[in-house]
């Protein structure tokens, strides 16, 4: 894309691919599952035009970044070290970190545990959860019982990979444009039984929503053809490990200025409550709920998200 440049940096013993635009204060943009830097294509240029250095990595396991093999290589500790290392590689002492989906969880944790490096934080779609009372998979088993739940389905190595990689273009189209398998309120997902998959009962829509182009689906699919789904799925397989390795999240507060943006129709709202975040993020400036928007919010609502981001950034101390 015009105005966006690409390079690879070494950080925390691996190589990460970066897409970047502009000059000025650093804004680090972290994508979620199952995406890539391309999720931020609209924000990179808007931030650059406003006088910021916008940088969107491919998270380890995705796109053109390295893809370590072991499950534990995708723990939150490793991911946070990757992004602190990106600041070092760029010669920057601090950055504003912005994340969506799993990138949001990474952004919140970076702000909580590395406050000297991240001067403000924006989370999208996934609120800051702190540290749950029990390991996450135990909580999910208590909450869902015998019901099918995608995070529990993702735990067995190789199973979801085989399903999702059988027809990657169709998988991407279904997840981004159709009913995603994490929509616990949809009839198709509620009707699943143990042994069903993430795509069971779902169809890839023939017509894309207005915010998503055929070339966008093709780009995501091409990147996932190269990387596979293993790295992204390994992130889910580290949730209990993160719980054990990061007990400090139980008491750590995010004191930096913060903003949270979520779509009114984001399926995650059914199982990731926002209210508890307020006690953990005392300088949360706003919880912005965009009417009618779903999960892929920075792509669905470009103008509104960009306006909110720029307004928040301009409010920060120089």
Residues identified as active-site: 101, 295
Nearest to 223 by CA among 37, 72, 19: 37
Q: End-to-end distance of the chain based on CA atoms, in angstroms?
A: 30
How many Å apart are CA 75 and CA 301, to the nearest integer?
Answer: 30
Distance CA 39, CA 204 (A): 20
Say if strands 26-30 and 5-11 run parallel, antiparallel, or are unpaired.
Answer: unpaired
C-alpha dihedral, 105 to 18 to 289 to 282, nearest 10°: 50
Q: Is the CB of residue 24 less than 8 Å from the CB of residue 52?
A: yes
Residue 312 · residue 122 · CB < 8 Å? yes
Structural Rg of the chain based on CA atoms: 18
Give the whole-angstrom CA distance, residue 59 versus residue 31: 7
């Amino acid at each position: 894309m015009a105005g966006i440049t690409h390079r690879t940096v070494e950080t925390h013993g691996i190589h990460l691919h970066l897409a970047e635009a502009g000059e000025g204060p650093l804004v680090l943009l972290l994508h979620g599952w199952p995406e890539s830097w391309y999720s931020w294509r609209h924000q990179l240029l808007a931030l650059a035009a406003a006088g910021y250095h916008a940088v969107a990595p491919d998270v380890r396991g995705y796109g053109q970044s390295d893809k370590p093999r072991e499950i534990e290589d995708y723990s939150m500790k490793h991911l946070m070290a990757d992004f602190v290392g990106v600041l070092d590689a760029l010669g920057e002492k601090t950055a504003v970190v912005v994340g969506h989906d799993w990138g949001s969880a990474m952004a919140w944790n970076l702000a909580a545990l590395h406050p000297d490096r991240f001067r403000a934080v924006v989370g999208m779609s996934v609120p800051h959860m702190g540290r749950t009372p029990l390991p996450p998979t135990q909580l999910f088993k208590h909450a869902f019982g015998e019901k099918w739940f995608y995070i529990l389905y993702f735990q067995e190595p190789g199973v979801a990979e085989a399903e999702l990689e059988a027809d990657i273009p169709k998988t991407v189209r279904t997840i981004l444009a159709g009913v995603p398998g994490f929509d616990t309120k949809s009839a198709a997902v509620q009707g699943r039984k143990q042994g069903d998959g993430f795509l069971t009962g779902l169809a890839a829509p023939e017509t894309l929503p207005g915010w998503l182009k055929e070339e966008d689906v093709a780009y995501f699919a091409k990147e996932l053809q190269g990387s596979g789904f293993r790295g992204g799925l390994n992130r889910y397989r580290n949730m209990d490990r993160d719980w054990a390795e990061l007990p400090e999240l139980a008491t750590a507060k995010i004191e930096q200025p913060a903003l949270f943006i979520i779509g009114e129709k984001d399926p995650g709202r059914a199982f990731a409550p926002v209210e508890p975040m307020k006690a953990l993020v005392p300088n949360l400036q706003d919880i912005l709920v965009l009417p009618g928007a779903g999960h892929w919010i920075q792509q669905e609502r470009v103008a509104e998200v960009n306006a909110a981001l720029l307004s928040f950034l301009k409010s920060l101390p120089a």
